[in-house]
Structure 1
């Protein structure tokens, strides 16, 4: 993401996981670790996706160490696509590799990555749950995301999303009484609206 991004490999269930770690500015009070998951691997999704990088910049600004990683079969990560099950294991392995004892955790994802994030949140034991979840353009159609904690979860979706219709997100969120923050006129990839997305995340969690 920048000259200070550390590229690394972490151990995963299907082999090495390619990852990138960014640290907040020295002047920012550290708040914990954020781990971000990318969109669908079979449709070109990688940890360098522009929406994921925008999420990373927002969380860096808020003071988190930010780890992005490639799901199995993407870039330098071993393995093959597993429709979310193995990818959940990849995310949990990335957390285990970087989280320090007692460190506050944020999990976030974009599109398919947001779906996998809900699975990982559900899989973590109570004493290791993330303090917050950040779900941007969550995929809610091909498979149903796991329920999420309402008070700790920020959901952001584009009104004009042509990949995951807003109505489908409402159908998932409604039974949970889960608020959804809608960006008017914005499509799935937030073209031309990435600075606004970053500002929205920072304002919501500052």
Structure 2
């Protein structure tokens, strides 16, 4: 889904507060119970990190995927240690929108691994098949 104010979605950007509410509402409506996989790209990864923090106590989070995490622009929530093995943090080496160093600075205190795509930019131009393959491998049980 698109967050408020993106694409054909109604509403206005809310710096993550309203977008978190939107994500939690989608989860409640589309997957109210059972195991859950959450994923986000860039700003969406920031929002997803906060959704994970909210849902971790009440839901079985099977897999988490954070791509191009906007760690230099927003306060990304830390992930509980027990979720690390189920989490894929993927970032482009040459990301000029969110520097790799910012993501490493966020991940380092958590000892959370980051998978770096050599030569990858923020939008992974020319590398989307690779990105798809990496994410699908992570999602397989």
**Cα shift at 1:128:** 1.7
- Counterpart mapping for 1:6-155 below 5 A: 69-102=1-34, 104-124=35-55, 126-148=57-79, 149-155=83-89
Residue 98 of structure 1 deviates from its aligned partner by 0.5
1:169-190 per-residue CA deviation (whole Å, 9 max, x = no partner) reads 0000000000000110111100
Give the Å deviation of 1:75: 3.6
Cα pair 1:108 1:135 within 8 Å, conserved:
yes
- TM-score of the pair, normalised by structure 2: 0.90
Partner of 2:92: 158
- Asked if the contact 1:133/1:153 (under 8 Å) is kept, the reply is yes
Q: Distance in 1 between matches of 2:69 and 2:128?
A: 16
Cα RMSD (Å) of the superposition? Answer: 1.4
The gaps in structure 2 that reach 5 residues or longer are none
Larger RCO: Structure 1 or Structure 2 (Cα < 8 Å, ≥ 6 residues apart)?
1
The structure with the greater share of residues assigned to helix is 2
Corresponding position of 1:177: 111
The 2-side partners of 1:95 and 1:162 are apart by 31
Cα distance change on mapping 1:75 and 1:191 into 2, 3 Å: closer
More strand by proportion, 1 or 2? Answer: 1
TM-score by length of 1: 0.63
* Partner Cα distance (1:71, 1:200) in 2: 25
Separation (CA, whole Å) in 2 of partners of 1:171 and 1:199: 26
C-alpha deviation, 1:129, in angstroms = 4.5
The size of the alignment, in residue pairs, is 137
Runs of 4+ in 1 over 4 A off after TM superposition: none
Identify unmatched segments of 5+ residues in structure 1.
1-68
**Residue in structure 2 matched with residue 64 of structure 1 by the alignment:** none
Whether contact under 8 Å (1:140, 1:172) holds in the other structure is: yes
Q: CA deviation at 1:76?
A: 3.8
